[in-house]
Chains A and B, each alone.
Chain A
Amino acid sequence: MKRVLFVFFWVVLFGLNGFCFDRVVSLSPALTDIIAYVGAEKKLIGVTVFCSGEVCRGKEKVGGIVNPNVEKIYSLHPDLVIATTLTPKRDVEALKRLGLKVLVFRLVSLEDVVDATGRLGELLGGDGAKGRKLLRRIRRAVLPLSRCLKGKRVVIVISSRPLYVAGSKSYLGEILKLAGAEVVPDTTFSVISYESLVELRPDTVLLVGNGNLYLLARFHVVRVKPADELLHPSPQVLKGIGELRRAVCGK
């Protein structure tokens, strides 16, 4: 009983601790976007070299996503480091050994993005409802899309060489499913062959980003450009959905 109490005591203490992070390093551009969305960009002190937006102006660069500079991160004395599952475990462990608090997020499905937004809102902005609000906003944003996508078989292509697609279990696929589209293949993200693309018989190939149109000539291709916002598993997709609507439905 004593032990249970002890554990409970610590859990509560750590829970309280969570509300006072104000020096945060983000090892993922998507997580950086989430921080901006929950209005905590002032608490952000370090970002990756891939971040170029307004949010990252004046922030320290701490290396790449898979090769972060552990020393640089430590030298900023953050009280929280947030990373995605893309960052190697050994770097995360090294940061923890230095006594830093590290949170690792998986950002693949829409639920992941919503959860991360809720969690970071709670930890940094004191508002845990941001996540649910984001989901509602996304639902609302896709409504006009269903007019042009309902019942259509869609393949979402992210790059054409190799053919890298976002499947129905990825956040992109789930967003299109909300709009009533049938998204194939049934995966998260994967590399597929051109032959299997033919076999999937899509009504529409949604090319998100740069790709060789020549290679997709036999399909009905809709190109979404600019696509940066859609490619961030973060609240940025809200803006991306706007681009998507312009591309798919016209005007």
Chain B
Amino acid sequence: MRKVAVVLAVFIPSLLLLFWGFPPTNIVLELRLPELLLSFGFGGSLSAAGGVFQGTLKNPLAEPYTLGTAAGAALGAAVASVFRFPVEWGALVGGLLSVFFIVLSFRVFSDPLSVLLFGVGLTAFFSASILFLYALFPVYTLQEALLFTLGYIMPVKISLSLFLFVVSLVSLALLIFRSRNLDLISLGDETAFFSGVDPKRERFLLFLISSVPVSLFVAYCGVIGFVGIVVPHAVRFLGYRTGKLLLPVSFLVGGGALSLSQWLARTLLYPTVLPAGVITALLGVPLFLYILWRYTGGRG
């Protein structure tokens, strides 16, 4: 039954995104296929990273969006575009720098809520820096900058979208390969250490591997929130609990979720195209609040 749910969550959004309105073949190949690869790969990477962030930090509310990795990558991309460097490299540097900050904050604070607040602060700072940068160097219009911080999936070349999709698959494979370590760290540093895993080193590695594709996608699609937080919880709820299952199923469901959001973003107010991040926030925030209530209110 749950397998059917996962398969449907993958195929219905993908088919809607590809074939809604039965467009001509070259539209499907030139526009919709890159769009599907981008949104599926991005949603999948976000959700796998969400699962990793939550497990390694023992924090049910962690994901690249809430902890500032996405905003860091976005700032990196913005800086790179101002100085005419490749945006991918800028995003990678920005994303990995924020990973470093978060791991550091985890060592300093150790309590989940403080780490989350630290991430919220980072996100606010990075987003403000992006708008500041655009005000200083108007390479883009303010509206465009705003779309970027809201997560707007723009048309890109098929080769680029394919490359990004492959990167997200490689990262997923590496994560699945290390998924036992993720499970162990989520059970506590002591349990991990006495099961033969160095929790500090492994936490950093897992963070790094999962943040690379997220950062690259952010360079092209901007910051998209709430997919990474809601999807892993939904997948655990379906009974895929250990990392070996949690990560690939999260990737599939997350990919489907963002593809569905992108389809809605394109179809709801046709012909106006909304930022996909607006849809994920509209759908995701109620679920986010439910998770917050369950884990903080319901813990005692």
Which residues of A are at the interface with B, using a C-beta cutoff of 8 A? Answer: 49, 60-64, 66-72, 74-75, 86, 88, 90-91, 93-94, 97-98, 191
In the complex, identify which listed stretch (B190-198, B248-256, B266-274) lies at the interface while the others stay far away.
B266-274
* Interface band, chain B: 20 to 34
Could you tell me the dominant secondary structure of chain B's interface residues?
loop
Interface residues of B in 109-134 (CB under 8 A from A): none
Q: Could you give, for residues 135-146 of chain B, a 1 whenever the CB lies within 8 Å of some chain A CB and a 0 otherwise? A: 100001101100
Contact of A63 among B26, B154, B271 (CB under 8 A): B271
Contact A98 B272 (CB under 8 A): no
Contact B31 A71 (CB under 8 A): yes
Q: 6 interchain pairs (CB within 8 A)?
A: A49-B272, A66-B147, A67-B273, A90-B154, A90-B156, A94-B30
Q: What residues on B are CB-neighbors of A86 within 8 Å?
A: 141, 143
Q: What residues on A are CB-neighbors of B23 within 8 Å?
A: 71, 75
Q: What residues on A are CB-neighbors of B273 within 8 Å?
A: 63-64, 67-69
Q: What residues on A are CB-neighbors of B152 within 8 Å?
A: 67
Q: What residues on A are CB-neighbors of B156 within 8 Å?
A: 90, 94
Interface residues of B in 243-300 (CB under 8 A from A): 266, 270-274
- Output the least CB separation between B230 and chain A (Å): 25
Q: Could you give, for residues 145-165 of chain B, a 1 whenever the CB lies within 8 Å of some chain A CB and a 0 otherwise? A: 001000010111100000000
Q: What residues on A are CB-neighbors of B170 within 8 Å?
A: none
Contact B271 A88 (CB under 8 A): no
Interface residues of B in 9-68 (CB under 8 A from A): 23, 26-27, 30-32
Q: What residues on B are CB-neighbors of A68 within 8 Å?
A: 273
| Closest B residue by C-beta to A86 | B141
- Output the least CB separation between B141 and chain A (Å): 6
Contact B270 A98 (CB under 8 A): no
Contact A63 B272 (CB under 8 A): yes
Contact of B157 among A71, A72, A75, A97 (CB under 8 A): A97
Q: What residues on B are CB-neighbors of A98 within 8 Å?
A: 26-27, 30-31
Contact B26 A69 (CB under 8 A): no
- Output the least CB separation between A113 and chain B (Å): 19
Could you tell me the dominant secondary structure of chain A's interface residues?
mixed
Contact A71 B272 (CB under 8 A): no
Contact A67 B147 (CB under 8 A): yes
Contact of B155 among A62, A64, A66, A90 (CB under 8 A): A90
Contact A69 B270 (CB under 8 A): yes
- Output the least CB separation between A94 and chain B (Å): 4
Q: What residues on B are CB-neighbors of A66 within 8 Å?
A: 141, 143-144, 147
Contact A94 B144 (CB under 8 A): no
Contact of A74 among B27, B147, B154 (CB under 8 A): B27
Q: What residues on A are CB-neighbors of B26 within 8 Å?
A: 98
Q: What residues on A are CB-neighbors of B155 within 8 Å?
A: 70, 90-91, 93-94
Q: A67-B147, A90-B155, A91-B154 are in contact. Are A72 and B271 (CB under 8 A)?
A: yes
Contact A49 B141 (CB under 8 A): no
| Closest A residue by C-beta to B143 | A66
Q: What residues on B are CB-neighbors of A69 within 8 Å?
A: 266, 270-273
Q: A66-B143, A66-B144 are in contact. Are A61 and B271 (CB under 8 A)?
A: yes
- Output the least CB separation between B153 and chain A (Å): 11
C-alpha spacing A66/B148, complex, angstroms = 11
C-alpha spacing A63/B272, complex, angstroms = 4
- Output the least CB separation between A95 and chain B (Å): 9
Contact A97 B30 (CB under 8 A): yes
C-alpha spacing A68/B31, complex, angstroms = 13
Q: What residues on B are CB-neighbors of A49 within 8 Å?
A: 271-272
Q: What residues on A are CB-neighbors of B140 within 8 Å?
A: 88
C-alpha spacing A75/B154, complex, angstroms = 18
- Output the least CB separation between A182 and chain B (Å): 26
Q: A71-B23, A71-B27, A94-B31 are in contact. Are A88 and B154 (CB under 8 A)?
A: yes
Q: What residues on A are CB-neighbors of B272 within 8 Å?
A: 49, 63-64, 67, 69
